[in-house]
Amino acid sequence: MSAELPESITLEALVQRFGGRIARGDPQRVVRRLASLTTAGADDLSFLTSAPFKAQAESTRAGAVLVGEALADAIPADCALVIVDDPYACYAHVAGWIAGWREALESPPVGVHPSAVVAPDASLGEGVAIGPGCVVEAEAVIGDGVRLGPGCFVGRGARIGARSRLVAQVSLYAGCVLGEDVLVHASTVIGSDGFGFAPEAGQWVKIPQLGRVVVGNQVEIGANCAIDRGALDDTVIGDGCKLDNLIQIGHNVRIGEHSVLAGCTGVSGSAVIGRRCRLGGGVGIVGHLQICDDVTITGMTMVTRSITTPGTYSSSFPMMEHAAWERAAATVRQLPDLRQRLRKLEKLSGNR
């Protein structure tokens, strides 16, 4: 598969736009698409980001390849070479150029669609686009250049910063705040009630959730996420955070700037995650814990205690054959008894 560039571009113009240098090939060579090493053709630009993909690079038919100095020898002699400091980041910028062009084509036109319902006292900035079926309630504030795709809901008094985009059927509950340049994918809910109930006489009494969700600038939130409003204080997502699809953020959670959470992660109420943390897919965070800055937690890890030292943390069994897993699980069940027996042996040994 390949992705059409917004316009055909020479390698010389590509370097002027994105940086790097042409180490081999005609600067006036034109590329028309961005493609993977295995599918690229003569008119395509591809990229080699790391050593594990060298075998694919050696057989690529791409017209030109973005590559770092260290891996340039892996590219066939008939490919043009564009040497860049960070091929992965450069690829991201080129892909962003394509995505921005496509977004412009796909976005609702500036103005309010006839089927949208906008409260008379809602504030709309310059160049706002509100798509079909949207609802914007009273006292909401929509910043300049905001785009609301089909079926989005913006509750009473909610605020959306400039140039943010809600793709489709996103719900932003009353009083919640999105910063500038935020992207929220389809069917995400921001500001739903936190899971708060008090036991009373064998039943559950709902605790009203009176806080907000406050999302910083340049945050991206994937599809079908749920971010609960705080019980009293706010739930806060810091600047530059990136959340994958299908993530649950409980009430009063605070996530520091530029942290990244992969899909199906769940963060229980009042947990605090530091800055620049990276959480793999399916991670679970117990409530009221604190995780310091610069922590990486690998996929499917269950975090049951606070983390105070930066580093990489893991838990759970790796995949193994089922029979071996059963034996390992049986051993784990026996650990408390084995521990007790070991302590007895240590005491007997100490008495001699």
Catalytic residue set: 251
| Phi-psi region at 153: left, alpha or beta (left = phi > 0; alpha = psi -120 to 50) | beta
Question: What DSSP letter does each residue of 166-180 carry, written as one string?
Answer: E-SS-EE-TT-EE-T
Neighbours of 292 (CB within 10 A): 17
Neighbours of 24 (CB within 10 A): 15
Instruction: List CB contacts of 108: < 8 A, sequence separation 6 or more.
Output: 129, 130, 131, 132, 147, 148, 149, 150
Residue 125 in tokens: 């900035």
The beta strand positions in 79-138, using DSSP E, are: 80-83, 111-112, 117-118, 123-124, 129-130, 135-136
92 neighbors 110 (Cβ within 8 angstroms): no
Residue 185 in tokens: 């994918």
At 185 the three-state DSSP class reads coil
Element (H, E) at 55: helix 54-58
